[in-house]
Chain A
Amino acid sequence: MFAFYPIYRGYFRTSLMMMFQYRIAMLIWLLGGIIEPLMYLVIWRTVSLQQGGSVGGYSTNDFAVYFIAMMMVSHGTFTWIMWEYVYRIRTGHFSVMLLKPIHPIHSDIADNIGYKFLTLTVIAPTALLLAWFFDASWQPTYWTLAAFVPVLILAFLMRFYWEWSLAMVAFWTLRIDAMNQAYIVITLFFSGKLAPLSLFPQFVQRAADLLPFRWMLYFPVELLLGRVTPRDVLIGIGAQLFWLVAGYLFMQLIYRAGIKRYAAFGN
């Protein structure tokens, strides 16, 4: 792992330099990541106020905290790789990546983390500002905060592996926009982005248990809110580890098959 340190440092350096080149584009991306949860926050807050201050066990304040936390977790774990792969393959840039003596996933991980750290300087004050504006009160405990760190890292990694794997569908077809769109809609429902999962019908919740999405977003958010027991956390981490290993194996499998196809057809 330490052998990768200088390489990652190199990737961080270049990706930050590139981001500084495209400051405006970066801000627009960032804005999207803020507006979406903010929109749901406003909607659910209004519903809650009209329902007398609570919906399905979530108070008006809970909704505010939930969506601000969702914004942060979503920011910490999101990837844009599914939109980038097609471009890579179409332009032949992927060949350039393949010629390097390192797996192409590393530059993507570094790029992603670089972006996250840089934009944290905007997203963190935004979260504080929203908390102040909506008068959100949040009392975390030490143990949930401590558990949140590994949970977020696991969420990031599992999401990364899965989305990196799905991005590789581009090896088979360059028209992957429809698939990406479908993925976004599914995530919206089963990850708790649209609303806390406990507000959904039972069967949706059961389905969400079996899918990877809740462990990417909903679980870390619930943990941050302190709405889980230590037992839930252990189950959650177990599920995350399972999906991480499955995602890793899936990535290896699809990467090998994808490369074979790429190598068979050329570009």
Chain B
Amino acid sequence: MEQNSVIHIDQLSKVYTVNEREAGLIAAMRSLVKRKTRDVKAVDAISFTVSEGEIVGFLGPNGAGKTTTLKMLSGLLHPTDGSASVLGYRPWERSRDYLRRMTLVMGQRNQLLWDIPVIDTFELNRAVYRIPEAEYRLAVEELTELLELASLLQRPTRNLSLGERMKCEIAAALLHRPSVLFLDEPTIGLDVTMQRRIRRFITEYNQRTGATVLLTSHYMADVEALCKRVIVIHHGKLLYDGELTGLADRIAPFKTVEVKLQNGLGGRPLAQYGELVAETEGRVTLRIPKVDTASVTGRLLAELDVADLTVQDPPIEDVIEHVFSQSPSPLGDPDPQQAQSV
């Protein structure tokens, strides 16, 4: 195990056994006698290590196994195989000490009590987590300031908007100052401003407390703003583990070149320079292999009447989409060097 590693998982797997039945009455009757089941591998022998204080983005399309992994790490699910250690605990043993030191926030599930003011759920958490009075006051004060909760605390949960509720959910989950945070889609369904506020808060919390964060999100803006490192899984397998910037290089080694021509396109065959992505009045966007960027831009400038030219990395969203649209494993087996990394 690496020094200072807080989360360490090794060959972690989870297989669900699901009942399978064909449509129709006869099939329903047959299933009374003999039940057909099928094994679904939700997580397939993944391994990684997260060090203290890191914020790691855990990416993958729906059904990739992200939530299953987070549930195993927070002790809600038993793995079928492999091992995991978080803060030195085996999560699924659900030791009280472990539960007191971590938190799991699920964007689509809540712990706030629906009918009573938010502050009263906080009070209950204070008792359940045995938070000393002074620490509790300080935590509430700090969270209220960081998440701008002052006007929300006295209101019953049911009267809050989705974004307000999410802020309070996060605060409730952090009152006991956990040193490991598992955040499953913490910004789902929120507007851009609220997403930004929550992102800022996560960074701030991480800086103030040195907590380790493993976060899943469908919003690439979250990942770009928060995570230097990302772990990508697809069909339960680990595809990539490394720096966010390296992901583009490794998965989509191309650049996007946008060219504006002085006198319009004039039917020029631009496809010879690279893959044509978009074409609007006098402006084209080309996708060019990274290694050819210098030579192709040189040729473009020399051979065409260029008014403006920009070279950009592809948006991370495109990169991710590129990965997930190719199945099962566009990268082949994960590079052991990369998969260990950081």
Contact = CB atoms under 8 A, between A and B. Distances in A.
Contacts of B123: 10, 13-14
Contacts of B103: 99
Interface in A10-64: 10-11, 13-14, 17-18, 21-22
B94 interface: yes
A266 B128 contact: no
B113 A14 contact: yes
Interface in B85-120: 92, 94, 96-97, 99-100, 103-104, 106, 109-111, 113, 115-116, 120
A106 B16 CA distance: 31
A22 B114 CA distance: 12
B217 interface: no
A42 B71 CA distance: 55
A101 B104 contact: no
A149 B120 CA distance: 33
A7 B76 CA distance: 23
Contact of B78 (A93, A95, A260): A260
B116 A99 contact: no
A17 B116 CA distance: 7
Contact of B76 (A13, A18, A98): A98
Interface residues of B, number: 33
Given A99-B104, A264-B78, A10 B115 contact: no
B199 interface: no
26 contacts: A6-B127, A9-B127, A10-B123, A10-B126, A13-B124, A17-B116, A17-B120, A18-B113, A21-B115, A21-B116, A93-B109, A95-B76, A96-B109, A98-B76, A98-B94, A100-B128, A100-B129, A101-B97, A101-B100, A101-B128, A102-B96, A264-B16, A265-B16, A266-B16, A266-B68, A266-B76
B130 interface: yes
A263 interface: yes
A140 to B, nearest CB: 38
A7 B124 CA distance: 8
B169 to A, nearest CB: 10
A6 B109 contact: no
A18 B16 contact: no
Contacts of A17: 115-116, 120
B71 A266 contact: yes
A101 B97 CA distance: 7
Interface of B: 16-17, 68, 71, 74-78, 92, 94, 96-97, 99-100, 103-104, 106, 109-111, 113, 115-116, 120-121, 123-124, 126-130
Interface string A129-149: 000000000000000000000
A9 B97 CA distance: 21
Nearest first, the 10 closest Cβ-Cβ pairs linking A and B are A10-B127, A101-B99, A263-B78, A101-B96, A21-B115, A96-B111, A101-B100, A17-B116, A7-B127, A10-B124
B60 to A, nearest CB: 17
Contacts of B16: 264-266
A96 B77 CA distance: 13
A65 B126 CA distance: 45
A18 B121 CA distance: 11
Nearest to B92: A263
Given A10-B124, A264-B17, 4 more contacts: A95-B76, A98-B94, A100-B128, A101-B100
Interface string A65-99: 00000000000000000000000000011011011
Contacts of A101: 96-97, 99-100, 128-129
Contact of A14 (B76, B109, B111, B120): B120
Contacts of A98: 75-76, 94
B116 to A, nearest CB: 5
Contact of B74 (A13, A18, A93, A99): A99
Contact of A263 (B77, B109, B126): B77
Contacts of B126: 10
Nearest to A9: B127
A266 B109 CA distance: 14
Nearest to B68: A266
B179 to A, nearest CB: 14
Nearest to A10: B127
- Most chain B CB inside 10 Å of its own CB: which residue of A21, A22, A266: A266
Given A18-B116, A265-B16, A266-B71, A95 B109 contact: yes
